[in-house]
Amino acid sequence: MKRNYGFAYAAPQALWLTVFFAAPILIIIVYSFLKKGLYGGVEPQFSLEAYSALANPTLLAVAFRTLWVSVAATVLTILIALPCGYSIARARNQAVRLFLVIVPFWTNFLVRIYAWIAILGNEGFLNHALRFLGFRAEGYQFLYNQGAVILVLIYMYLPYAILPLFSTIDKFDFSLLEAARDLGASRMQSYVRVMLPNIKPGIFTAVLFTFIPIFGAYAVPLLIGGKDSYMLGNVIADQVTKTRNWPLASSISMTVTLITAILVFLFALRKPKEQKLVRDQEALSQSVSGGAA
């Protein structure tokens, strides 16, 4: 008789994730419906205050800015990453090219942010170079604005988009492109109408890998942006650590989570569910191991 040890194997992990992941998220959900305590913390009293506070115009402005910055950065990242993934997939020296993408990807996150401060700062590389070339001596302020935030976000997440796109495009049968050309399609048509539909799973993974972290971005807007480039992540952090308004921090977190979930489901619903989840997980695991193994 075959005994079923499945639960015995899975129990330690299930327990860990229940205690250290599910429970904290549940607490956040509960807190978002409670009253703010006088000295931080919460009072055990039902209240929708934290959600009505979301309608605050300042907060709404931050929310729309976050959405705008995330969409802009994600779209630009994917548009840049597509030809890169294609180029690696068709190259003879794939390993070397992947290596070149992975080195910046593996370099510490904060080191990369710091590098951009060293370049764009008021006393940074770019200003010194411009001064040397005879531009105005007082320099330009490149940092602390939304353009800089988007630029650095694209820089941070490009490898996250390139790797899954490469791994999908690499499996694409390029002879289909030749066939499309033979049947009279233009070069662009063959890419857009033959290749793009075939690499949709890769694009899906790439969008998830860039949009989600950018939408919850905290460090980049804090260090690269100014007051006018604050994103929802910064508001959450401030509410937790400075203002100590935990219900509001929770309700904003719930909003961010909901928007993320909606995005995931919008993509996931387009295909039969089970098959889709398996395929996404495969794509994910490939790009994860491609990136960091």
Partner 1 sequence: MLFHARRALRKSAKAASKILPRKFAGSDVIFWLVILFLFMPLIVLFVYSFNASRSGEWKGFSLIWYQKLFTESPDLWKAFENSALIALTSALMATMLGTLAAVGTARYSFALKSYVATMSFIPMILPEIVVGVSLLVFFAGVGLKLGLISVWIAHTTFNIPFVYLLVSARLAESDPTIVEAAKDLGATEIQTLFKIILPMALPGIASAFLTAITLSLEDFVITFFVSGPGATTLPLYIYSMIRFGVSPVVNALSAVMVAGTVLLVYPLRNFLKVFAAR
Within 96-135, the residues that bind partner 1 by CB under 8 A are: 96-104, 106-119, 121, 123-125, 127-128
Q: Contact between 153 and partner 1 (CB under 8 A)?
A: no
* 201 lies in the binding site for partner 1 (CB under 8 A): no
Q: Are 259 and 215 in contact (CB under 8 A)?
A: yes
- The CA distance from 172 to 196, in Å, is 10
Piece of 44-52, 56-64, 194-202, 241-249 that binds partner 1 (CB under 8 A) = 241-249
Is residue 80 involved in binding partner 1 (CB under 8 A)?
A: yes
Q: Which of 50, 149, 159, 190 binds partner 1 (CB under 8 A)?
A: 159
Cβ neighbours of residue 139 closer than 8 Å, sequence gap 6 or more: 122, 123, 127, 130, 131
| Segments in the chain forming alpha helices (H) | 6-17, 23-31, 49-52, 57-90, 94-106, 109-120, 125-132, 146-169, 175-182, 187-189, 196-198, 200-215, 219-223, 232-241, 246-268, 273-292
Interface segment toward partner 1; rule CB under 8 A; list 45-53, 57-65, 196-204, 232-240: 232-240
* Other residues' Cβ atoms within 10 Å of the Cβ of residue 8: 9
d(CA 226, CA 208): 26
10 binds partner 1 (CB under 8 A): yes
Residue with smaller CB distance to partner 1, 92 or 227: 92
Per CB under 8 A, the list member of 71, 91, 183, 262 interacting with partner 1 is 91
For partner 1, the closer CB: 67 or 288: 288
Confirm or reject binding of residue 16 to partner 1 (CB under 8 A).
Answer: yes
Identify any residues that bridge with 246 across adjacent strands, giving them in sequence order: none
- Is 260 an interacting residue with respect to partner 1 (CB under 8 A)? yes
Smaller CB separation from partner 1, 146 or 253: 253
What minimum distance in Å lies between the beta carbon of 136 and partner 1?
A: 16
Q: Which of residues 160-189 bind partner 1 (CB under 8 A)?
A: 162-163, 166-167, 170-171, 173-175, 178
**Contact (CB, 8 A) for 197 and 72:** no
Residues numbered 21 to 60 that lie near partner 1 (CB under 8 A) are 21-25, 27-28, 31, 41
Find the binder of partner 1 among 72, 130, 218, 226 (CB under 8 A).
218
Does 68 engage in binding with partner 1 (CB under 8 A)? no
Q: Which among 172, 236, 186 is positioned nearest to 31, based on CA atoms? A: 236
By CB under 8 A, residue 229 contacts partner 1: no
Nearest to 156 by CA among 110, 90, 208: 110
CB atoms within 10 A of CB 44: 8
